[in-house]
Structure 1
Amino acid sequence: MNIIKVRDDHIPYRFTADGERYKLEAGCEASWAGDGEFGYKDLRKRVEPWLTSLFQSEHLSLLAGSGLTHAVHYLAAGRGAAGMGALTLSNYQTEIDQAAEKAAEATGRKKGNLEDQLRVANELLRGLEILQNDSESKALRKELHAGMQTFAQSILSSEAGIITAEESKREQAFNTLVTFLMSFASRTGVRDRLNIFTTNYDRLIEAGAELAGLHLLDRFLGNLMPIFRSSRLDLDMHYNPPGIRGEPRYLEGVARYTKLHGSVDWVQVGKDIRRVGLPFGAESIESYLKAPGLGGATAHQLMIYPNAAKDRETADYPYVELFRDLAAAVCRPNSTLVIYGYSFGDEHINRVIRDMLTIPSTHLVVISYDDPLGRIMQTYQDMGRPSQISLLIGPILADLTKLTENYLPRAAIDKTTFRMSELLKQRWGTEQEIDQHTPEKGQNTDGGDLE
């Protein structure tokens, strides 16, 4: 089933595919669908201009979930990315699983996952340390270390599945990813920066940006071992157009980048968060954690949400800063947030989106390959802002290849394109005017026939 709601649609329309023809669900009537049957060209005419106009909003943000990784991995390797396995413990397994299930139910998910288990296990570890139960806390810490290492290995396995795929398919997958990213990043020099947010731990977006020549501005500064900084958010890249006075313009090919849940190459070293030089798709992370200057860090110090920090103060850092960046970027007037491959399973992110929609001039675009748990449509109903939400759900609309080829705006919407359009319009209009005032052969200017 596919769902579309764009432009002036009052409700989401469900439709099915029969080859190259699409048909609205029984009981649905849409003025743009005629008798209820239409093709991809009709969808393109309806969706592409709408997204093009939204992408040129004053403020534009992209939130990418795990669906993006799975889509690119499928294009490259013909299968989805590696999933997260369950955490296996020798003690407190039942209690941790039960608490993880409750945490999952509170966010609308049917069952807990590894993230829920790690979060609960870290809280339990902190409790055992407070109770000074040294033997059990040491045993749990050792098992958590193994669990974090397995978690990191699954992330690297997903990266390796892409980078080791057949060359032609790998190139096709990365080309599609580059087109996807540049469709968002191609903004004129007077528009605010594109903000890219992701809940993924892998470096797929970084790899795609590298191939596209897209410079990502994150909070890390430095070259050899970049360090996370809270005070350099306004660092940017500008240029002065020749012959133009006034404020400099934004340099093209630059975007702000925030990994809300951390990354597989972020490590806590003392009181600092550093990014290590971990190659894309590396076999293991252990050897890269033995570098001088990391202070004997282990997988337990990886900044993967929920992190394995030792106390509450560091548990909130750097995630508080990252979530603040999300709220500051999207919760402002004339802002558009595009979501791809995110299933609304994180309440801390959903809360920011709800707050954003309280501003009437904001707009939310949800693009997802499917909605197996019904969370997207449930969230759409709960938010109660249908006029501010566009939906593109289903393989016909959200398949990454079809999306980039048919529905996303061109990756080079620039002033030259608009100038050409205006020039052609003026010339065409002038020619029409001349034709209307030029007498045909054998006809007098006053309308009478010539002798």
Structure 2
Amino acid sequence: MSNTLKVRDDHTPIYFEETAEKDSKFKLCEGAEASWLTQNQTFSIKELRSRVEPWLTALFQSEHLSLLAGSGLTHAVHHLATGKPAAGMGEATLTSYKDEIEKAAKEASQKAGREAGNLEDQLRAANELLRGLEILGKSPEAETLRTELTSTLQTFSKSILESEAGIATAVEDKREQAFNVLVTFLMSFASRTGVRDRLNIFTTNYDRLIEAGAELAGLHLLDRFLGNLMPIFRSSRLDLDMHYNPPGIRGEPRYLEGVARFTKLHGSVDWVQTDKDIRRIGLPFGAEEVSPYLKAPGLKDTSAHKLMIYPNAAKDRETSDYPYVELFRDLAAAVCRPNSTLITYGYSFGDEHINRVIRDMLTVPSTHLVVIAYNDPLGRIMQTYQELGRPSQISLMIGPALADLQILTESFLPKAAIDKTTFRMSELLKQRFGTEPHPAPVAEKAGGDSDVADLL
């Protein structure tokens, strides 16, 4: 499998592949060119790290940093833990108006640049049809379709929980390895100095893998939910944060470390609509199914049809857009501002409403987009890259040699620590020796540090 890299001063993407000897060495693909390589030169992860890691470290220190995690993150962690991919989104098993729903789903997917409709397209079409049947007063047909929708959502939620359970019940050493990699991945982004803006984490996933990783990492996630027993989604209180007062300093609170903002753009398997509110229920990670946890008195016999899985709608247009309109507004507000960097991992650019925000973000010259993906089977990533038309603001890391989660965390991401020592050491070396340290023998002949300082 070929890999695609574009960082730093690369004008065009560089394509490379593993050598035929399979000795962890790589070479440029036929016809590919790179300013830092010759056509027949081989290189390893070490050479790639020296080129990629400093670039990512610099971008991670942008004033505003956001991470957009797609289904690729769940698949990566699930594969580390079990050796198998996580459950995907299958097709809905609807019999009522099946042909009409599939036709509408296919048309919607093609408008979004996808070849075939997925479950989300089918749910959207089915919910719109359900509302139409209710308007026409066709109660029996509407009731049949609603029953099928409830069953489909229940089956889908069960598949999400099965992926969680696969990770939670994996062999202990494999599970610990997978969660350690996930924790390192998250903390590489979240470890920001107190003078920088909070990390914003966005995800299109319905599972709670990021929440589980954050819990293990001791990372506190700020979302729009308030409360303890059954948290409720609030449109307000977005600016709530956590600060502390350093000893001996009054009136100058600083950001508490280990805190990030978190937004699930497509909802979650544990979000339920009850009356006019969206609540998060106490659904254990990897539970067998959702239904038993929907029988709490406060939920008033809520069914799986009320799960807030995008684009599952409620009874009217006003609530069908809620809370998703608020969540996408958070995405736009976070990334569409100067000196902002957005890193995507495992996102295939199949959601046009997200792509539109990214397109708007890149109209700000000081913004930057980093795309990290294990593969691009449908070619959507490279197609979007061409359509955006701003290569100087986009970095690409596509392929197993670059985006395998374990390789990525070990070799390419900045180390997961708020550590000023590294920066202080770099400044000290720069002051003593210039931009590049002299070899040890030269320093010794000069008579030690004080003489070198005199020479400079």
CA shift, 1:426, in A, is: 4.9
Give the Cα–Cα distance (whole angstroms) in 2 for the partners of residues 125 and 182 of structure 1: 44
Q: Spell out the pairing of 1:203-282 with structure 2 (5 A cutoff).
A: 203-244=208-249, 247-282=252-287
Q: What residue identity is the alignment partner of 2:446?
A: Q
2:199 to 194, 201, 204: 194
- Aligned-residue sequence identity (percent) comes to 76
Q: What residue identity is the alignment partner of 2:33?
A: E
- What secondary structure does 1:33 align onto? coil
1:71 to 76, 89, 100: 76
Give the Cα–Cα distance (whole angstroms) in 2 for the partners of residues 76 and 411 of structure 1: 21
CA shift, 1:437, in A, is: 6.6
2:300 paired with 1:290:
no
CA shift, 1:246, in A, is: 5.7
1:130 to 127, 135, 152: 135
The answer (yes or no) to whether the contact 2:313–2:321 under 8 Å persists in 1 is no
Give the Cα–Cα distance (whole angstroms) in 1 for the partners of residues 88 and 158 of structure 2: 11
Which whole-Å deviations, capped at 9, do the CAs of 1:127-148 have from their partners, x for residues lacking one? 0000011110011111111011
2:346 paired with 1:341:
yes
Give the Cα–Cα distance (whole angstroms) in 1 for the partners of residues 194 and 418 of structure 2: 11
The answer (yes or no) to whether the contact 1:302–1:308 under 8 Å persists in 2 is no
Give the Cα–Cα distance (whole angstroms) in 2 for the partners of residues 140 and 245 of structure 1: 61
Give the Cα–Cα distance (whole angstroms) in 2 for the partners of residues 413 and 253 of structure 1: 10
The answer (yes or no) to whether the contact 1:217–1:255 under 8 Å persists in 2 is yes
The answer (yes or no) to whether the contact 2:71–2:346 under 8 Å persists in 1 is yes
Give the Cα–Cα distance (whole angstroms) in 2 for the partners of residues 268 and 170 of structure 1: 33
* Matched residue count: 438
Residue matched to 2:452: none
Residue matched to 1:448: none
Q: Spell out the pairing of 1:20-39 with structure 2 (5 A cutoff).
A: 20-35=24-39, 36-39=41-44
Which whole-Å deviations, capped at 9, do the CAs of 1:406-447 have from their partners, x for residues lacking one? 000000142233234434555667997785379xxxxxxxxx
Q: Which consecutive residues of structure 1, in runs of 5 or more, have no partner in the other structure?
A: 439-451
1:389 to 369, 384, 394: 394
- What secondary structure does 2:153 align onto? helix
Q: What residue identity is the alignment partner of 1:28?
A: A
Q: What residue identity is the alignment partner of 2:389?
A: G
Q: What residue identity is the alignment partner of 2:178?
A: A
Residue matched to 1:10: 11
The answer (yes or no) to whether the contact 1:159–1:280 under 8 Å persists in 2 is yes
Give the Cα–Cα distance (whole angstroms) in 2 for the partners of residues 189 and 15 of structure 1: 39
Q: What residue identity is the alignment partner of 2:11?
A: H
Give the Cα–Cα distance (whole angstroms) in 1 for the partners of residues 431 and 55 of structure 2: 24
- What secondary structure does 1:162 align onto? helix
The answer (yes or no) to whether the contact 1:44–1:407 under 8 Å persists in 2 is yes
Larger deviation: 10-19 or 372-381? 10-19
Residue matched to 2:365: 360
2:446 paired with 1:436:
yes
Residue matched to 2:454: none
Structure of greater Rg:
1
Which whole-Å deviations, capped at 9, do the CAs of 1:9-33 have from their partners, x for residues lacking one? 0000111112221111222221212
Residue matched to 1:98: 103
Structure 1 pair 33–134 and aligned structure 2 pair: CA distance change class (3 A):
same
- What secondary structure does 1:336 align onto? strand
Which whole-Å deviations, capped at 9, do the CAs of 1:163-212 have from their partners, x for residues lacking one? 11111100000000000000000000000000000000000000000000
- What secondary structure does 1:37 align onto? coil
Q: What residue identity is the alignment partner of 1:24?
A: L
Give the Cα–Cα distance (whole angstroms) in 1 for the partners of residues 422 and 260 of structure 2: 22
- What secondary structure does 1:365 align onto? strand
Q: What residue identity is the alignment partner of 2:258?
A: G
Q: What residue identity is the alignment partner of 2:136?
A: L
What TM-score does the superposition give when structure 1 sets the normalisation length?
0.94
The answer (yes or no) to whether the contact 1:176–1:401 under 8 Å persists in 2 is yes
